[in-house]
Homo-oligomer: A and B are copies of this chain.
Amino acid sequence: MQLKTLFSPRSIAVIGASTKIGSVGYTLTENLLKNGYAGSIYPINPKTDNLFGLPCYANIFLIPHEIDLAIIIVPANIVPLVLREVGEKGVPSAIIISSGFKETGEAGKKLEDEITLISKEYNIALLGPNCLGFLRPSLGLNASFAKILPEDGKIAFFSQSGALCTAILDITHDALAFSHFVSIGNKAVINENELLRFFASDKNIDVISFYTEGLIDSAKIIETGRAVLSQSDAKPIIALKSGTTPAGTQASSSHTGALAGSDDAYEALFKQARIIRATSLENLLDLLSVFSNNHLPENNRVAIITNAGGLGVLATDSAIDSGLRIASLGEETKKKLRAVLPPSASVNNPVDVLGDALALRYQNALEIIAVDEETDMILVIVTPQTMTEDIKTAEAIISIKKHYDKPIVAVFAGKKSFSAGIELLRKNNVATFAYPESSMMVLGSLARVTHWRKQIAIPPIKLTNIDQKKAEIIIAKVKNESRTALTEKETSGVLQTYGFPFFATYEVRSKEEALEVAQKIGTNVALKIVSPDIIHKSDAGGVMLGVDPNNAGEAYDRLIATVKKNAPDAKIDGALVVEMAGKGGKELLLGLKKEPGLGTLLVFGLGGIYVETLKDITMRFIPLSESDIDEMVREIKSFALLSGIRGETGIDVLYLKELLMRLAKFALDFPEIAELDINPLLAFPKGNDFRVLDARIRLEKNVA
């Protein structure tokens, strides 16, 4: 879908332009006219010939020019008619401002489906319905009914909530500058994925950001997010996601399902797509301020310059909490600092320039630290002391920030005394905070993007011995019988075709056979009677555990004899020889869970009785790479248990990763899997000893 005519139109038709002051049709037309937009504007309203001094048309066909963008502000029920006219006229893009669609219920939903179809028929790039429109400061274009056109800048922002748009424009009117500011409304046609891809390739954009209540197609988002971060002009993406629907975590029959809540899924998605997730609206705006005004740092070492010890301590705590390191300043740096600071100042990080510091002392310290090789980012803290020079200190920060590439952020911890200094910093693109903690949180996110950029791919794991065909036959049978749950035998059958290790089980009919297969198994075995007449095998003496494989022949005879004595009338078909579990295995959980519309999650964590209480799990959407799997295995809290602690040998982590990769491949090959639980998988130091103890698979309903 082309979005160029939508966001850079040469001509705009406003269908539903109005002279009624206060109406959306009036406000929007006025907004189009008053901000210096250089293209042509054609109001459409059958009731008048002239509007705002422009010729007004009764319908779009009467306009004797080509139109790039149609903005539609008419009652919902006539929108389909109007949109079809737009299509007939050959207009390539449109915004439907009108509400009254999906958000109002079933009838509105039908209307929205209709306009989606019309857009596809005429190939119209459609924004909305039920939206504010968009703003492009660089074009002097306010194609919305929002009051405030922000400054032109490098941030592209889009939001599912129109009210959040107006709130952000109002809060940040003097603080943030945007290239695109877009209200996407019900996203009938253009959704987050289209905009992410479009903005990713725009050279005038440095940061992409959005607010959403729900996304679709995780694979596309991950692909775009990773690509845009790895290109040479990396554009960080920042998202605010709300609306954790508890519905998603209800009705789940598996452990995996119960553990992987909807919000956890989004957490995983953002991590995987390398999208910074804002923790709050405030954090979102803080992130935009820092990301749009700074380059990415080389690494995560932060230096703090402060005129107040207490705030230095608060900043240090937050730095650690935010995953940053407190830079160890180089000896040369300390020497230079000693030369310009009073003797009682601290030249260790946090550098304390003392309460009586004038602007010059800040400037000297900043200049020295700006070239310190152990420092990647600088936080300058200024508190209002008797001698403090807020404006001059702001000027010093601004001038040094211009000369160096390192991120520099200011905390001006005052309001009454500092308003002029803060104003100056903002105007000169220095992100400024009142509190040390929030600034450190944002620097932590900045360093996280650097970390993501640096990550090295892990070599691929080669998967052999997968028999997809055989699995297809088993699953087809389940579907043919209109079932969703696989039987135990089907489950192990399917998983074995993908290389999952189950306990070996053989049916034998003689002493000799029993001995032979037991020796083939090689470990202690269990013998279980096979008889159609015996339901409770143990009660009839039909189970023997811990049998040495070399004694399996004699044991078989004893088993048969015992059962014959206890149940003389039962027909006996033979016995099962079953491999027994080794001792001391770690219980793990491997699972799959489909998030409708979004994708399938691969879930991994501690299994067994701990799974529900400790919830030590992690997840990622498939498809995923070896690096994702490596991250997953390492990020559970019990990783130390798996890799071995206190001299204990760890489990075969490489084989564990292979099994996770096998499960991911299985999910890709069978998208109809709704939920899958392998719990526990018993894991041992040797991959050969791994065994699946229990597993369940459930398919989606109504999948052909």
Chain A residues with a Cβ under 8 A of chain B: 22, 27, 104, 145, 147-148, 159-164, 166-167, 170-174, 211, 213, 240, 242-244, 279-282, 307-311, 313-314, 316-318, 320, 344, 355, 383-387, 413-418, 434-438, 609-610, 612-616, 637-641, 645-646, 648
Q: Which residue of B lies closest to A170 (CB)?
A: B414
Distance (whole angstroms) from the CB of A511 to the closest CB of chain B? 31
Instruction: Given A163-B309, A308-B164, A313-B243, decide whether A415 and B170 contact each other with a Cβ distance below 8 A.
Output: yes
Q: How many copies does the complex hold?
A: 2
A314 CB contacts on chain B under 8 angstroms? 240, 242, 280-281
A309 CB contacts on chain B under 8 angstroms? 161, 163
Q: Which residue of B lies closest to A278 (CB)?
A: B437
Are B281 and A415 in contact, with the CB atoms below 8 A? no
Are A610 and B641 in contact, with the CB atoms below 8 A? yes
Interface residue from B170, B211, B240, B385 paired with A166 (Cβ < 8 Å): B385
Q: A417 CA to B172 CA in the complex, in Å?
A: 11
Q: A387 CA to B613 CA in the complex, in Å?
A: 50
Q: A313 CA to B613 CA in the complex, in Å?
A: 29
Are B148 and A416 in contact, with the CB atoms below 8 A? yes
Q: Which residue of B lies closest to A314 (CB)?
A: B242
Interface residue from B145, B310, B355 paired with A213 (Cβ < 8 Å): B310
Instruction: Given A383-B163, A613-B641, A637-B613, decide whether A434 and B310 contact each other with a Cβ distance below 8 A.
Output: no
Distance (whole angstroms) from the CB of A670 to the closest CB of chain B? 29
Q: A172 CA to B434 CA in the complex, in Å?
A: 11
Instruction: Given A166-B384, A242-B314, A386-B147, decide whether A171 and B307 contact each other with a Cβ distance below 8 A.
Output: no
Q: A638 CA to B611 CA in the complex, in Å?
A: 10
Are A280 and B609 in contact, with the CB atoms below 8 A? no
Are A282 and B434 in contact, with the CB atoms below 8 A? yes
Are B163 and A307 in contact, with the CB atoms below 8 A? yes
Instruction: Given A344-B104, A418-B170, decide whether A163 and B310 contact each other with a Cβ distance below 8 A.
Output: yes
Could you jot down 26 A-B contacts, CB within 8 Å?
A145-B386, A147-B386, A163-B308, A163-B309, A163-B311, A164-B310, A167-B308, A167-B413, A170-B384, A170-B416, A173-B416, A174-B416, A211-B310, A242-B313, A242-B316, A280-B314, A281-B314, A281-B436, A282-B437, A609-B641, A609-B645, A609-B648, A612-B640, A612-B645, A613-B645, A614-B637
Q: A515 CA to B359 CA in the complex, in Å?
A: 87
Q: A410 CA to B310 CA in the complex, in Å?
A: 31
User: Knowing that A147-B417, A162-B310, A613-B638 are A-B contacts, what are 7 other residue pairs whose CB atoms are under 8 Å apart, sorted by A's residue number?
Assistant: A159-B310, A162-B355, A166-B383, A244-B320, A280-B314, A281-B314, A281-B437
Are B435 and A282 in contact, with the CB atoms below 8 A? yes
Q: A148 CA to B386 CA in the complex, in Å?
A: 11
Distance (whole angstroms) from the CB of A585 to the closest CB of chain B? 13
Are B614 and A170 in contact, with the CB atoms below 8 A? no
Q: Which interface residue of A280, A308, A641 has the most chain B CB atoms within 10 A?
A: A280
Instruction: Given A282-B434, A437-B282, decide whether A310 and B242 contact each other with a Cβ distance below 8 A.
Output: yes
Q: Which residue of B lies closest to A148 (CB)?
A: B416
A174 CB contacts on chain B under 8 angstroms? 416
Are A173 and B415 in contact, with the CB atoms below 8 A? yes
Distance (whole angstroms) from the CB of A149 to the closest CB of chain B? 12
A648 CB contacts on chain B under 8 angstroms? 609
Instruction: Given A243-B313, A645-B613, decide whether A417 and B640 contact each other with a Cβ distance below 8 A.
Output: no
Are B414 and A310 in contact, with the CB atoms below 8 A? no
Q: A267 CA to B174 CA in the complex, in Å?
A: 39
Are B415 and A171 in contact, with the CB atoms below 8 A? yes
Distance (whole angstroms) from the CB of A212 to the closest CB of chain B? 10
Interface residue from B159, B161, B355, B434 paired with A171 (Cβ < 8 Å): B434
Q: Which interface residue of A27, A147, A437, A613 has the most chain B CB atoms within 10 A?
A: A613
A145 CB contacts on chain B under 8 angstroms? 386
A438 CB contacts on chain B under 8 angstroms? 280, 282
Q: Which residue of B lies closest to A320 (CB)?
A: B244
Q: A637 CA to B615 CA in the complex, in Å?
A: 9
Q: A640 CA to B282 CA in the complex, in Å?
A: 36
Instruction: Given A211-B310, A437-B280, A437-B281, decide whether A170 and B417 contact each other with a Cβ distance below 8 A.
Output: yes
Q: A313 CA to B615 CA in the complex, in Å?
A: 26
Q: Which residue of B lies closest to A213 (CB)?
A: B313
Instruction: Given A167-B384, A645-B612, decide whether A308 and B414 contact each other with a Cβ distance below 8 A.
Output: no
Q: A612 CA to B643 CA in the complex, in Å?
A: 14
A166 CB contacts on chain B under 8 angstroms? 383-385, 414
10 closest residue pairs by CB, A with B: A161-B310, A163-B308, A170-B414, A280-B437, A167-B413, A282-B435, A164-B310, A170-B384, A163-B383, A167-B383
A384 CB contacts on chain B under 8 angstroms? 147, 166-167, 170
Q: A114 CA to B510 CA in the complex, in Å?
A: 95
Q: Which residue of B lies closest to A284 (CB)?
A: B435
Q: Which residue of B lies closest to A243 (CB)?
A: B313
Distance (whole angstroms) from the CB of A279 to the closest CB of chain B? 8
A639 CB contacts on chain B under 8 angstroms? 613
Interface residue from B344, B417, B435, B614 paired with A638 (Cβ < 8 Å): B614
Q: A640 CA to B615 CA in the complex, in Å?
A: 12
Are B311 and A164 in contact, with the CB atoms below 8 A? yes
Q: A159 CA to B417 CA in the complex, in Å?
A: 21
A171 CB contacts on chain B under 8 angstroms? 413-416, 434
A387 CB contacts on chain B under 8 angstroms? 22
Instruction: Given A437-B281, A437-B282, decide whether A27 and B386 contact each other with a Cβ distance below 8 A.
Output: yes
Distance (whole angstroms) from the CB of A50 to the closest CB of chain B? 24
Distance (whole angstroms) from the CB of A522 to the closest CB of chain B? 26
